[in-house]
Structure 1
């Protein structure tokens, strides 16, 4: 076991660029598939930093491991462990903080423009970001804001794009961890789930256009989040 724990829920939602950052920083980390029961028996008092990745399931699905993961997140929150949630991971954090997670009437997909909220300008999680930036999105659920949370950013199709709770919890609705390879895989393997007639979804050609530049910009967004997450832990 290591001091950094990454929780995943399906093989096509890996740590992505987060793993690249940790490798570059020469920090060992443990990846567990909670949907496969790999969290069972894990020492919840061990990790100093925890990241929760995405997945196609809903927090509201009747899957036994979801409740177990939420309970683990509550334990980490009580321990004051730095936590960062990506998409489903952000929704799981919202649930662990007793906030509702619900279905949207559409699916938000693509390089969506986000805006940093004026009251979040001084939040240290957001210090590296300009007023407007983009994060890759693919989700049909969204979270409400937990009591005591600070609302950090919004987008035209999903107002609750991120919140911080205390100084050590960051929940994100989008996917800052994406790499070029992951974007291409998702748009190949899951193209049948897309509907370009929905204004909340970008077309595949538009998502792939100038992809290296878009991913480089996304990496900078992600690395600001990851630097703070690591600084809080170590």
Structure 2
């Protein structure tokens, strides 16, 4: 069993580019499907770093395994180990820290531009980022920033795109883990759920336009997040 744990919630939200970064760094990792009960009985004192991926469910859904996961995240928070949350994962971290997660009046989807919020540029989580960058989005819920956390990122459609809590936890509303294959798979299977009459949603052509270049830029954004996360796990 490895010391790096990745929590997933459905088959089409895998570690994605995070897995490639870990493979390149020659770091072993364990992937658990929390929705299938694979977190039950897991030794929560074993991991030295945890990543939480996305999923279509809401943290407010009446699913017993969500309570199990939130309890596990609170245990990891008490242990002060590095954690990074992606979309649903970021919302689960917010809930574990006592913040609300609410339904937005619209869905934010596609390649959306993010900016650091005022006072956030000194955060080590953002040291590799330009003043503005695009990240892939697909969410209808949004987290509030927990008490004591540092707001980091914002977009036109979602004020709270990321926060840091302490020096080892990063919660993100977007999907830095996306690969070209993942984007295409999502759009092949789920584009019927999109409504590009909403200004907050890109249409299919916009999402796929120059996709390899967009993913390469996103990989650079993600790699910086993941390198810092891994450096904290080594301390």
Count residues with an aligned counterpart. Answer: 234
Gaps spanning 5+ residues in structure 1: where?
Answer: none
Deviation at 1:147, TM superposition (A): 0.2
Counterpart in 1 of 2:35?
Answer: 35
Mapped partners of 2:198, 2:180: distance in 1: 24
Q: In the TM superposition, what are the counterparts of 1:1-234 in structure 2 within 5 Å?
A: 1-234=1-234
Mapped partners of 1:63, 1:117: distance in 2: 34
Q: C-alpha offsets along residues 191-229 of structure 1, whole Å, 9 cap, x if unaligned?
A: 110001010000000100000000000000000000000
Deviation at 1:122, TM superposition (A): 0.4
Gaps spanning 5+ residues in structure 2: where?
Answer: none
Give the TM-score normalised by the residue count of structure 1: 1.00
Deviation at 1:66, TM superposition (A): 0.3
Give the TM-score normalised by the residue count of structure 2: 0.99
Runs of 4+ that moved beyond 4 A:
none
SS at match of 1:139: strand
Deviation at 1:116, TM superposition (A): 1.0
Mapped partners of 1:98, 1:21: distance in 2: 31
SS at match of 1:119: coil
Mapped partners of 2:191, 2:118: distance in 1: 36
Mapped partners of 2:117, 2:145: distance in 1: 14
Deviation at 1:118, TM superposition (A): 2.7
Maintained 8 Å contact 1:116/1:130: no
Mapped partners of 1:28, 1:134: distance in 2: 29
Mapped partners of 1:6, 1:103: distance in 2: 26
State the superposition RMSD in angstroms.
0.4
